[in-house]
Amino acid sequence: MNTSPTPLGVLVIEDNDGDARLIHEALRDLPATPITLHRAITLQAGLEFLGRNLPDAVLVDLNLPDSQGLDTLRKVCALAPHTPVIVLTGLNDESMAVTALREGAQDYLSKGELDARLLLRAIRYAMERKENEALLRDVQSRLVQAQRMEAVGRLAGGIAHDFNNLLTVIQGYARLLQDSQPPESDTHRDLAAIATAADRAASLTQQLLAYSRKQVMQLRVIDLGSLVQTIEPQLRHTLRDNITLTITLAPDLGQVEADPGQIEQVVSNLTANARDAMPAGGSVMIACANVTVSDDWASRHPELRSGEYVQFSVTDTGIGMPASVVQHVFDPFFTTKPFGQGTGLGLATVYGIVKQHHGHIWVYSEPGQGTTMTVVLPRVNQAITLAPEPTAPATRGSETLLLVEDDPETLTMLRISLKNLGYTVLTAQTAHAALQLMRHHENTVSLLVSDIVLPDLSGPELYEGLRGGRPDLKALFMSAYPGEAILQRGMITSGTPFISKPFTAAALAQRIRDVLGNQSTH
C-alpha cells in the first residue's frame, strides 16, 4: 500500500530567473512534503494556468513585466478566490504587507529571507488560513439561513392563527353551500372552485410552517426503501412520457424514525423538481443506501452529528444550476420558474421537513450537468412500527357536543356543519359561558370540542373544570396556532386529541368519531 504524501501543487508567478531558482532549490529537497512547482514569468501566463488548473497555493511577485503593484494581486485573487496567495517582494515594506493582506493575500514574504522551512511554513499557514476562512464563511452562511428560517417561522406563526380561522370559515361555508346545490349546477361548480382555492391557500400556510419546522409530526419507525416502493406508481404518474425513473435500493437498508406522510412529500417534491429541470426529457434516479458520517465530516457540518444514517438521493439529467442559484434553492419564495408557474415553497418545504427530522440535505449541481439532491436521516435500531389498520370512516353521530370557540364566524359554521351530521350542538364563546351551560346539560354532553386559546381560560383548563362533575367526559381541542407551538407552550401533551385549523367539516367529524369511538350512533 502506497502511503507517500500527496505532493502540493504550487504556482510561482515570478519573472526573475534567480529568484525562481532560489525558490525551486529551497523546496525541492524537503523530505516529508513533496512539492510540484509550476512557473509563469508573466501575470497573463499565470492567469492562464489558473484558468486550467487549481493549485494548492500561489506565490506571486507583485512587479511583473505586464503588471505592477497591488493590481497584480487583485487579478490573481479574482481568478482564484479560493486558493491561498502568498506575495513575494524584494522590499521589506510593512505598510505594503498590511495592504496586501487586506487585498486578499494570505501571507507576505521578503525574498531576502527565503529558506525552505520558512517557505513551507508560509504555504502551510496560507492553506490553513484559507480553509479556516472558507469554514467561517460556511458557518456564517448557515447562521444567515437559520436566522432567515427563524424570521419566516415568526411570520408564519404570526399569521397562522387569524389566517387559519378565516380559511376554516371559507372552506366550511363553501362546502355547506355546495352540498345544498345540485351537482350539475353552475353554483355547485363555482362553490367547488372556492373550496379548492381555500384548500390551496391552506396548503401554502402548511408549507411555510413546514419550512419553519412548526408542524406536528406523527413519528414511527419505517423502512425508507419500502416507502419509496409504495409511492413509486405515484411518482411515475407525475413524470412525463419522455422521462424515465430508476430506483436503486440497498439490500440492507436501515430504518429511520419519521413521519411517513412528510417523507413522502419530500420524495415527491424532489422528484417533481427534477422533472421541471428536464423540459426536453431525461432520467430521474432515486437511490437509497446506508451511510456513516465520520467525526471529520461532522466537524465540517455542524448541523450533523457523526453516526449512522440512511441516505436517499434524487438525481436528474436536467439543465443544472449555477452556484448563485444553488445557494438560494431552499429560500422560501425563491424560484427560477416563470411568474405564476411556481410558489417557491417546494424545496423550502423539503428543507424544513428534513431539518425537523434531524437530518440534512445538500445539493450538487452544475449548469448542463444535472442536479443531485441528497438527504440523510438518522438510522435507528428499532423494529418497524406497523401502520394502524384502516377502519371504515364513520362521520355521523347523535351525541351532544359542547362546542367552545371565541371566533363567532367559525363557531356558527361549525355548529351548522355538526348539526347537519346529526349531532346536538351546544355552543359558547368563552370558558365561563361553557361552564354555566354545562350545569344545565351535565349528564347529556358526551364531548367537549374546544379551541385551545380562549379569552378567559384555556381549553385544557376548561376541560379540567368540567371533569370535576363528569370524569368520563372526553375532549377534542382545536387551534389555528401551529400545532408545534401549542406543544412547546405546554398547552397540550403529544397524546392529547387535537385538530389543527384550517380543517374541513368532514375532517372534524372524523376526528370526533376517533375520540368518541369510530362507531356511528346515527
Q: What local confidence, expressed as pLDDT, does residue 245 receive?
A: 93
> Under a CB-based contact definition with an 8 Å cutoff, are residues 106 and 125 in contact?
yes
> Under a CB-based contact definition with an 8 Å cutoff, are residues 47 and 55 in contact?
no
What percentage of the chain has pLDDT greater than the value 70? 80
More confident residue, 473 or 192: 473
pLDDT at 125 over 90: no
* Strand 424-428 relative to strand 400-404, pairing: parallel
DSSP 211: H
The three three-digit cell numbers of residue 325, written as one number: 442559484
For 28-61, write each residue's pLDDT tens digit. Answer: 666 566 778 889 999 999 999 988 888 888 888 8
pLDDT at 377 over 90: yes
Listed in sequence order, the residues at least 6 apart from 316 whose beta carbon sits closer than 8 Å to its beta carbon are 274, 275, 277, 278, 282, 283, 284, 285, 370, 371, 372
Separate counts of helices (H) and strands (E) for the chain: 16, 17
Q: What local confidence, expressed as pLDDT, does residue 345 receive?
A: 65
Q: What local confidence, expressed as pLDDT, does residue 486 receive?
A: 67
3-class SS at 118? helix
Mean pLDDT, residues 303-319: 89
pLDDT at 448 over 90: yes
Q: What local confidence, expressed as pLDDT, does residue 340 receive?
A: 45
Write down the mean pLDDT value for the chain. 81
Q: Which structural domains are found in the chain, ordered by start?
A: 8-114 (3.40.50.2300), 143-211 (1.10.287.130), 220-380 (3.30.565.10), 400-516 (3.40.50.2300)
Q: What local confidence, expressed as pLDDT, does residue 2 receive?
A: 47
| 401 backbone dihedrals φ, ψ, rounded to 5° | -115, 140
Q: Where are the alpha helices (DSSP H) in 337-399?
A: 346-356
Q: What local confidence, expressed as pLDDT, does residue 314 receive?
A: 93
pLDDT at 320 over 50: yes
For 424-445, write each residue's pLDDT tens digit. Answer: 999 999 999 999 998 888 788 9
Q: What local confidence, expressed as pLDDT, does residue 215 receive?
A: 57
* Strand 307-316 relative to strand 498-500, pairing: unpaired
Q: What local confidence, expressed as pLDDT, does residue 349 receive?
A: 79
Mean pLDDT, residues 132-136: 73
For 378-411, write each residue's pLDDT tens digit. Answer: 999 887 776 555 454 557 888 999 999 988 888 9
Which residues does residue 157 pair with via DSSP β-bridges, in sequence order?
none
| 335 backbone dihedrals φ, ψ, rounded to 5° | -150, 145
User: 0.95 exceeded by the pTM?
Assistant: no
pLDDT at 522 over 60: no
Q: What is the DSSP string of 424-471?
A: EEEEESSHHHHHHHHHHHTTTEEEEEEESS-SSS-HHHHHHHHHTT-T
More confident residue, 455 or 142: 455
Q: What local confidence, expressed as pLDDT, does residue 382 receive?
A: 82
Mean pLDDT, residues 332-347: 59
Q: What local confidence, expressed as pLDDT, does residue 116 receive?
A: 64
User: At 159, which helix (H) or strand (E)?
Assistant: helix 116-179
Q: What local confidence, expressed as pLDDT, does residue 344 receive?
A: 55
For 74-111, write each residue's pLDDT tens digit. Answer: 998 888 888 888 888 776 667 777 888 888 888 887 77
Mean pLDDT, residues 181-199: 83
| CA gap 492, 460 in Å, rounded | 7
Q: What local confidence, expressed as pLDDT, does residue 520 receive?
A: 43
Long-range contact pairs involving 338-344 (C-beta distance under 8 Å, separation at least 24): 342/276, 343/204, 343/207
Mean pLDDT, residues 178-190: 85
What percentage of the chain has pLDDT greater than the value 90? 20
Mean pLDDT, residues 312-324: 89
pLDDT at 318 over 80: yes
Q: How many CB atoms sit inside 10 A of residue 482's CB?
A: 25
Mean pLDDT, residues 475-504: 76
Closest C-alpha to 242, from 318, 170, 299, 294: 318
For 241-260, write each residue's pLDDT tens digit. Answer: 999 999 999 988 999 998 88
More confident residue, 126 or 49: 49
| CA gap 414, 169 in Å, rounded | 8
- Is residue 502 reached through a cis peptide bond, with omega within 30 degrees of 0 on the bond before it? yes
Tell me which of 160-169, 287-296, 402-411 is least confident: 160-169
